[in-house]
Amino acid sequence: MYSYDMTQWLFFFYFYCFFGWCFESTYVSIRKKKLVNRGFMRGPFLPLYGSGAIMMLVVSMPFQGNMLLIYVAGCIGATALEYVTGVVMEALFKVRYWDYSNQKFNYKGHICLSSTIAWGFLTILMTEVVHKAVEQFVLGIPAEILSGLVFGLTILIVVDFTLSFKAAMDLRDVLVRLEKVKEEMEHMQKRLDVILAIADEEFASRIKAKKQQYTDRNEELVNGLEERFGGLKEQLSRRYDNLTDDVREELAELRTRFGSIQERRGQLRSVKDFYKRHLILDNPTMRSERFREALEELKRAAAEHKGRHSGQKG
C-alpha cells in the first residue's frame, strides 16, 4: 500500500502532469513535424495525465501483486476518468479537446474500446515499472526541499490553470456570439432575398447560383450579403420607384446593421488573446458539433495571425 503525505502526493501529481506533457507534445510534434505545446494549459503540464496517474495508483492499491485485477481496475478507472473529464469539459467549454468518433466501439466520442484496453496496460506499466523509479527519486528528496518545490509549483500551476480556464471560457463565449452573428446574417439574407425578388428576379437567381463558390457557410453569408447589397444598389438606380418608402428605410437599416455585424465579426475572430490562440493552435483535434463553423473560422483566423507575425519576424 502507498503511504505518502499530502506534499508527496502533490509532487507525484505535478511530476506526472509534466511527464504527460513531455510525452504528448513529443508525439504530436513528431506527427506534425513541428514543435507543438500540447494541452489545455500554457505551461508544460497536462492535468489529465497527472489525474490519470494518481487514479491508477489509487485503484491499484487493493490489488498489488495481482496483475489481472490491476489491469481491470486500470481499464475501468481510467475510462471513467476520461469519460467524466470529456463530458464536463464539453459542457463547460462547448468544445472537445479529444474525440474518438472515428474509432470503432466508441461511446459518444469521449471513450473507445482501444483506449480502454491501452489504459489497462498503461496501469500495469505505471504501477509496476515507472512509479517505482519515480517513488525512489521523490522519497530521496529532503522534506524541506520537496515542500519548497511543491509550494512553488502550486503557485505556478494555479496561476497558469486560472488563465487557461478563463481563456477557454472566453473562447466559449466567442463561439456563442459568432453563432448569433451567423443567425443574424441568415435572417438578413432571407429578407434581402425577398426584396431582391421584387427589384430584379434575374439578379436574385445569379446570386443563388454563386453560393457554391464559397468554402463555408459563414463566408457564403458574408459574400452573399455583400453581393445582394451591391445588386440592390444597382437595381434601385433603375427601379427605385418600385419600392415603397418603408422598404427603402428597411434597406438603409439593413445596410447599417450589416456594417455593424461585420465589425463585430471581425473583433470576435481577431483572436488577439495569447492564451486563446494557444488553445486553438495547439489543440488541432479540438472540435465542436454545435459551433463547428465558428470554431473552424477561429482556427483559420488564429493560423492567419500566426502566419502574419511569423512573416514579420522573418
115 and 244 assigned to the same domain: no
CA–CA distances in Å: residue 269 to residues 293, 296, 301: 12, 10, 6
The number of residues in the chain equals 314
CA–CA distances in Å: residue 174 to residues 95, 170, 187, 291: 12, 6, 20, 10
The phi and psi torsions of 290 (rounded to 5 degrees) equal -75, -40
pTM reported for the whole predicted model: 0.72
240 and 286 assigned to the same domain: yes
Share of the chain above pLDDT 90, in %: 32
* Residue environment code for 139-148, b if the CB has 16+ CB neighbours within 10 A, otherwise e: eeeeeeebee
Least confident of 72-76, 89-93, 140-144, 266-270: 266-270
Mean pLDDT, the chain, as a whole number? Answer: 80
User: With helix as H, strand as E and coil as C, how does the chain read?
Assistant: CCCCCHHHHHHHHHHHHHHHHHHHHHHHHHHHCCCCCCCCCCCCCCHHHHHHHHHHHHHHHHHCCCHHHHHHHHHHHHHHHHHHHHHHHHHHHCCECCCCCCCCCEECCCEEHHHHHHHHHHHHHHHHHHHHHHHHHHHCCCHHHHHHHHHHHHHHHHHHHHHHHHHHHHHHHHHHHHHHHHHHHHHHHHHHHHHHHHHCHHHHHHHHHHHHHCCCHHHHHHHHHHHHHHHHHHHHHHHHHHCCHHHHHHHHHHHHHHHHHHHHHHHHCCCCCHHHHHHHHCCCCCECCCCHHHHHHHHHHHHHHHHHHHHHHC
pLDDT digits (tens, 9 = 90+) for 25-41: 887 788 777 777 777 78
101 and 53 assigned to the same domain: yes
- Predicted pLDDT of residue 57: 92
Whether residue 23 has pLDDT greater than 80: yes
**Comparing 282 with 80, which gets the higher pLDDT?**
80
90 and 198 assigned to the same domain: no
- Predicted pLDDT of residue 314: 53
- Predicted pLDDT of residue 158: 94
102 and 194 assigned to the same domain: no
* For range 51-60, the mean pLDDT: 92
Domain that holds residue 209: 171-313
Does residue 161 sit within a domain?
A: no
Least confident of 118-127, 172-181, 224-233: 224-233
78 and 202 assigned to the same domain: no
* For range 183-201, the mean pLDDT: 72
135 and 176 assigned to the same domain: no
Last-in-domain residue among 141, 163, 183 = 141
Whether residue 159 has pLDDT greater than 50: yes
- Predicted pLDDT of residue 244: 61
* For range 253-277, the mean pLDDT: 72
**In the chain, how many domains are there?**
2
Provide the 10 A C-beta neighbour count for residue 37: 16
**Comparing 75 with 270, which gets the higher pLDDT?**
75
Does residue 192 sit within a domain?
A: yes
132 and 253 assigned to the same domain: no
- Predicted pLDDT of residue 186: 80
- Predicted pLDDT of residue 42: 82
Does residue 291 sit within a domain?
A: yes
Q: How far apart are CA 144 and CA 22, in angstroms?
A: 27
187 and 280 assigned to the same domain: yes
* For range 258-272, the mean pLDDT: 72
Does residue 132 sit within a domain?
A: yes
- Predicted pLDDT of residue 202: 47
Confidence of residue 180 (pLDDT cuts 50, 70, 90): confident
121 and 217 assigned to the same domain: no
| CA end-to-end span of the chain | 56
Last-in-domain residue among 100, 119, 141 = 141
**Comparing 266 with 154, which gets the higher pLDDT?**
154
199 and 130 assigned to the same domain: no
Does residue 150 sit within a domain?
A: no
- Predicted pLDDT of residue 38: 72
309 and 178 assigned to the same domain: yes
pLDDT digits (tens, 9 = 90+) for 104-155: 899 989 999 999 999 999 999 999 999 999 999 999 999 999 999 999 999 9
Highest averaged pLDDT of the listed ranges 82-96, 191-205, 211-225, 281-295? 82-96
**Comparing 185 with 112, which gets the higher pLDDT?**
112
Confidence of residue 209 (pLDDT cuts 50, 70, 90): low
Does residue 165 sit within a domain?
A: no
- Rounded to 10 deg, the angle between the 217-239 and 245-268 helix axes is 150
